[in-house]
Amino acid sequence: MSTSDAKLLGLWASPFTTRVQMALKLKSVEFEFIQENLQNKSELLLKTNPVHKKVPVFIHDDKPICESLIIIQYIEDTWISGPSILPTDPYDRAIARFWAAYIDDKWFPLLKELGAAHGDEARTSIMEKIFEGLALLEEAFDKCSKGKGFFGEENVGYLDIALGCYLGWVKATEIMTGVKWLDETKTPGLVGWAERLCSDNAVKDVLPEAQKLVEHYKMSTPKEKSATA
């Protein structure tokens, strides 16, 4: 397949864009990456995602697909010859989707809240919730991995992508707050998982560097920070 058949509209700092890039690389899909300026959105972005006007948007054969987890499902269904992203067992697949929704809807937003929090009491409350969420994800990793190296057991899978796309921002938040989120004494499973994931060929070249994300965060506007999904 040529790059003209597949295009990805995204932002290098967006974990949701990173998420789609991981899936495409896992499936060895060639694609053209089109960097968006969210302060001056392109006509192509507005045309292909008129509802939310956010990135990422994946365009395949001139047909746009929006929302990162939906895009991953499309990639999985379209390129069936590559390694499976979603678990084959229906129950395992449902559990992976459950935790992916938890990460997007409940856990990662806490990191955003922490950056906007005012006062020690508010920050402490949010930090406690972040650590509580990590404890839950540590338990989820133990169950989903079944003693192997990834949530997808022996290979990078759906939940590895869903959580792993945030690792750059997790590290960036550690730099900005001075708090170490992934601690070997509290979440040893996740610490080992993160190291393995960041070394994987589908991940290491697309995961943004933490320091660059820190600089991007300081320069970006509130509008830009909410323009990815």
**Average pLDDT value for residue range 4-32:** 95
* pLDDT reported for residue 81: 87
**Average pLDDT value for residue range 157-181:** 96
Residue 122 pLDDT > 50: yes
Residue 108 pLDDT > 70: yes
In angstroms, rounded to a whole number, what is the distance separating the alpha carbons of residues 55 and 198?
Answer: 23
Q: Which domains can be identified in the chain, with CATH numbers?
A: 3-83 (3.40.30.10), 90-219 (1.20.1050.10)
Residue from 3, 13, 11, 62 nearest 166 by CA? 13
- SS3 letters across 170-225: HHHHHHHHCCCCCCCCCCHHHHHHHHHHHHCCCCCCCCCCHHHHHHHHHHCCHHHH
In angstroms, rounded to a whole number, what is the distance separating the alpha carbons of residues 82 and 125?
Answer: 43
**Average pLDDT value for residue range 32-39:** 95
Residues 6+ positions from 132 with CB-CB distance below 8 Å: none
**What does the mean pLDDT of the chain come to?**
93
pTM score above 0.85: yes
If you write DSSP's letter for every residue of 108-174 in order, what string do you get? HHHHHHHHH--SHHHHHHHHHHHHHHHHHHHHHHHHHHTTSSBTTBTS--HHHHHHHTTHHHHHHHH
